[in-house]
Structure 1
Amino acid sequence: MVEINTIETTVNVNDVDIAYQLHGNANNPTIMLIHGLGAPLSAWPKAFVEQLVLQGFQVLLLDNRDVGKSAQLEHLKMPNLPWLMLKLKLGLAINVPYKLEDMMNDTVALLDHLQIDKVHLVGASMGGMIAQLITINYPHRVHTLTSMMSTTGNKKLPKMTDAVKQNFAEKPASYSAQDILKFNIKKWQVIGSPGYPSDAESLTEFVIGLLERGMTAKGTLRQMLAVMATKNREKDLAKIATPTLVLHGDDDPLIRVECGIATASVIPSARLKTYPGMGHDCPIELIPSFVEEIISHTNTVASQTSSDTKEITS
């Protein structure tokens, strides 16, 4: 195994403590990975991070607010959930503890703190939504965008399956460590890839890693409310000039493949890659393909930059 230089610390940015990791050589271009709902940075497979580093990138990961080792925002007042759901059904605006835009600002403030001017952005699920917002609002900070198993915010797109909806409505049998572990294992089984099922030992190890990093029901709920409050981004996405890659599973039961197709169709010149049998996770078998697609995507931009430079100097 190749030894990779890793830095981990927590910094206060945008008035919130954000934990992050840096892997690889600081002199290399940076790929920033932003994960999804209730998922700490340990949800990114180690093999994925390692392969990106070995391809010549510095990899930056963060725990979003309310998850992992970042600040748990328990002081924020929770809304009346039944009233909030009614307002959503009526198409009315809702008040939530924070918005995806706040999470976007956390991320940009972290880049400012690290003095990283521009990154290749990779966002999964909710992280894809945050990455889209960064690209919309701070295009000068983004070399390329890769949106994985994410969506545009259009509420008319297909919803999660009934099985996922039922699972999300459930609670652990108790708050014992064992029951919380079982509950989260079942969740990942429900949203996982039918074509690439995880063996029991690997899945248990993965979920233990998430729980040890830090997850709370209230923190996940606050993040979910931020997603629910977000507006349709399609008009803004249609203005993106940043080179964009969309990766999505054909069998995603949480954010349906139609959402990935819609994302790629609305962003000018976006490239779409779908995977039969992939659900709402990162199967270990598909990591080489993910890395190949992302590296090819970033290399295209590097080649274009080189070509533009030659034209200017000639």
Structure 2
Amino acid sequence: MRATANGIEICYEVFGEPGGRPVVLIMGLGAQMISWPEEFIGLLVESGHRVVRFDNRDVGLSTHFTPADGDAPAPSYLLDDMADDTAGLMDVLGWESAHVVGASMGGMIAQALAIRHPARVRTLTSIMSTPGPRVGRATEEAMAALTAPAPQDRDGAIARALENARVIGSPGYEMDVERITRLAGEAYDRAFDPAGTARQFIAIRRSADRTEGLRGLSVPALVIHGEDDPLVTLEGGTATADAIPGAKLLTFPGMGHDLPRPLWPVIAEAITELTGRV
């Protein structure tokens, strides 16, 4: 489905029955909405939620901000604008407020949404994220993987996804080669735009630190982080939890910068416990 919100087109998908507790899932840098596993979403639906996932601007089937002249990918937007995209999508869905869950850059967007539109956020779950670019900085190897030259074709995109998973994935869990391969192929077929990912990365770098804004929140919050995350190190999660009054910090040994399948039930249960409090 498509919606016009905040001046752009947003591709989205809704799961669950009307009347369920509304949950907005926001994905990370360069990741399309299909990166949210349907099995994980199913766990949330079974727990009484109505869930929406969507493509952020500049990825997937949502609006891409390609310069007219095709030159450098300098963006005209910040994470705040992406938070406003999310609020706009909620308007289209008729959701005055929702439980907001963001992973990586999606966690940054979720934080910005709670700061800019506090009445729209019932609960906030920030996963493997950080309140600002100076906290939880990536290891050299992880940053090299993130900034490597873009692959040139479908096979290259799949190979890159597998290599990145080896570098930034969860060392305590077996790598799901089949899922990573399938997902990378589907993402390439839907929309392959490395320049869009670069624009999102620039938007992260240009956005202000959110620590002070988080300190002013009064929303129930859950912060989830891998203890072995090399891309946004654990410091990013602890700083987020320290900034939000009353936030719960949940960390997992062996978890890197991904969502290992064995943790899906645990994470879904933690989110459900949080949403059930409101």
User: Under a length normalisation based on structure 1, what TM-score does the superposition of the two structures give?
Assistant: 0.84
- Aligned equivalents of 2:70, 2:174: Cα separation in 1: 36
- 1:111 maps to which of 74, 90, 98: 90
- Does residue 196 of structure 1 match 2:188? no
Q: Which aligned pairs between 1:1-314 and structure 2 lie closer than 5 A?
A: 9-75=1-67, 96-153=75-132, 155=134, 157-172=135-150, 175-301=152-278
Q: Which amino acid aligns with 1:175?
A: Q
Runs of 4+ in 1 over 6 A off after TM superposition: 76-81
1:89-136 Cα offsets, whole Å, 9 max, x none, are xxxxxx742111111111111111121111000000111011111111
- In structure 2, give the amino acid aligned to 1:167: A
Shift of residue 15, structure 1, vs aligned partner = 1.4
Letter in 1 for 2:249: L
Superposed displacement of residue 35, structure 1? 0.5
Any stretches of 5+ residues in structure 2 without a counterpart? none
Given that 2:13 and 2:52 are in contact with CA atoms closer than 8 Å, whether structure 1 keeps it comes out as yes
The offset of 1:78, in angstroms, is: 8.2
CA drift at 1:209: 2.8
Whole-Å Cα distance in 2 between the matches of residues 201 and 22 of structure 1? 25
Tell me the equivalent position of 1:3: none
SS at match of 1:300: coil
Counterpart CA distance in 2 for 1:77 and 1:176 is 23
The 8 Å contact of residues 194 and 278 in structure 1, kept in 2 or not, is answered as yes
Conserved in 2, the CA contact under 8 Å of 1:96 and 1:229? no
Q: Aligned residues: percent identity?
A: 39
DSSP 3-state at the match of 1:272: strand
> Once the 2 structures are TM-superposed, how far is the Cα of residue 300 of structure 1 from its aligned partner?
2.0
How far the C-alpha of 1:201 sits from its partner, in A, is 2.2
Give 1:38 deviation, angstroms.
Answer: 0.3
Whichever of the two has the greater Rg, that structure is 1
Task: Name the CA shift for 1:222/1:146 in 2 (closer, same or farther; >3 Å).
Answer: same
Structure 2 residue matching 1:49: 3-state secondary structure: helix
Q: What is the letter of the counterpart of residue 10 of structure 2?
A: I
When the two structures are superposed, what TM-score results if normalisation uses the length of structure 2? 0.95
In 1, distance between residues paired with 2:68 and 2:25? 26
Report the Cα distance in structure 1 between the residues aligned to 2:242 and 2:71, rounded to whole angstroms: 35
Cα distance in 2 for partners of 1:168, 1:213 equals 21
Q: Deviations over 1:60-84 (max 9, x none)?
A: 1110001111112213678869xxx
Ranges in structure 1 where 5+ consecutive residues have no aligned partner = 1-8, 82-94, 302-314
The number of residue pairs the alignment matches comes to 278
Measured in 1, the distance between the counterparts of 2:176 and 2:114 equals: 37
Matched AA of 1:247: I
